[in-house]
Each structure stands twice: as structure tokens, then as C-alpha cells.
Structure 1
Amino acid sequence: MTEVTVRAMNPDEFDRWQDELAAGYAREHVTAGNWTPEEALDRARGATAGFLPQGMATPGMLFLVGELADGSPVGRLWIGLTHPRGLADCAFLYDIEVAAGHRGRGLGRALLAAGERAAREHGAQALELNVFGANETARKLYETSGYRVVTQQMRKDLS
């Protein structure tokens, strides 16, 4: 597996990532049938702002850029060191994304492993995440990386 290291995002990277994060999160919720396309972007921005009241300076958050040995950026991670439901010693992976030009080369697994190391270095003994059910690629990555289902939501359309 190709080695990926992580470093802290700089403010410009954070600002660009916030826009891309909101757009991607909105798309996932529309695809899942949770939000309408008209409301999705505003709701996505609001959700992120709720978790980051101080933006990049919000305590307990890691905003990381994954890099190859030559310094080429390959992706980003957002890890909360305090679990949103208060689970002790469990960090939470809010976002992971491999840059479009680097997908399909096993770098998602390497980026995830680098994020796990960063969380461990900050005292986490576990890392939890949510994944949309329709995102089969991500689900397989997490399952083959040792993640297990701890809660699950299911839905049936009745129309």
C-alpha cells in the first residue's frame, strides 16, 4: 500500500474544502431522499456550521490533508476528537475524500489509515463514522479496513 501522511490544512485549503464539502454532503442527502435539491445546499452548510461554530478554530477538530512522499496532496480528512454522541475515547470521522485524480489507486485506504494514526496520536482508542447506504464503494472500504456496523437506519418508501 502506498504510504500517505497527513498535515494540518491551511486556511485557504479549509475555505475551498468547506465549499466542496457542503456541495458533496448536499448531493448525498438528495440521493438518499432526505432533502430536496432546492434546500440541500443551505441545509448542508447549516449542518457543517453547527459542528464548527468557530470554523477552523473549533476545538477538538482535525482538518487534515493527505500527501504522498513527494508532497502531492491526495485527499482530505475531518476528524472530531470528541464523539458527537459523547462516546469516551472514540473520535469521529466526519469526512474523508480522495481527490478525483487519485481515485482507484488504493489511496483511500492509505488516507484512512493515516487518519486513524492521527486520531490515535491524539488519544482516541476508536474511530467511528457514518456512511450513506448507497455509497457502496465507501462501505466496502470501511468494511475491509476493519470497521463494523454499530447502528443502522433503514427506510422503505411507501409511495
Structure 2
Amino acid sequence: MTVAAAATHTFDSATTTEITLDSVVLGQVQVSTSSVFQFTNGLHGFETHLAFALVPAAREGLFWLQSVTSRDVVFLLIDPFVAAPGFEVDLGVTERAMLKLDNPMDVLVLAIVTLPAGNEASPTANLRGPIVLNAQKRLASQIMSAVQAHDVRTPVDLHALPARS
């Protein structure tokens, strides 16, 4: 299954409840349980953190991924199809089975953004290790892309993204 389209999925909050999370970046934030994903293996370097809430950020194409169990574990994510036109990811049989993916419309792909320590450098996105989410079943996994052109430090211009309406 090849995914080559921007993230457009919305979450149905009408059938879920709200929970309050404490975040070192976001403060106290209310999220719908429909925005909580279970990671099959955690994130690289954060394997013990398996439940994360996906929270829209202030700009289109950006999201916060906040650990449900630790206020200190939060990541900025970007839609890689916006960050790198022409981006695509091929999901193999193993990834599709792990995420119980049957329908390509249920796939949401995002990339972790690294923010520079100083103003002299640009933010970068890890396109080599994107996060793949099954929006229907609320499962997620960080995969390693076999596409050599995808870099772990792809420069991104966060200010070019429009404000979320």
C-alpha cells in the first residue's frame, strides 16, 4: 500500500469522552479519547510510552503528539506531504498487519520535527522514520522508510504553513 496524499482525516468527537492531559509544552489540555492512539512498539527511544494523544497545533499540517502517561514526552509532528512535495511511503504487509490497515483512507502519516536549539538553524523533519496511524482503529507505529531519498533531517519552514482556522 503506497500512501502519497496529505493528511485529511478528522476525528469524530461526538461518540467519545474528553480527558485532561498535563503537558510540559501545552499545559493542561482537553482532548477527545478519539484522538488517543496506541503505539504498537512505542517510538524509537521512547518504547515504554505507548499511548499518545494527537493534538492539532496552531498551524495547518502541524500536530502535537502528547504522551498520555508522561507530561514530559511530547513531539511536534508535520504532515510530510506538505513538508516535502512528492513524499510517499510504501507500507508493507508487516506494517499493514501490525496496524490492522485494510482501507487506505484510514491511513494518516506524520513526521517528527526537531526544533533547533538556536535561531541560526532551521527545523528539520524525520522523513526516514515517519509515524503511521490507523485513524479508524487508533493504532500507530513509527516505521523505517526504505526510500533512501527520505532524510532524517529534512529542513522544513514552519512559518510557511498557514494558521489553523
- Output the TM-score relative to the length of structure 1: 0.33
Between structures 1 and 2, the one with greater helix share: 1
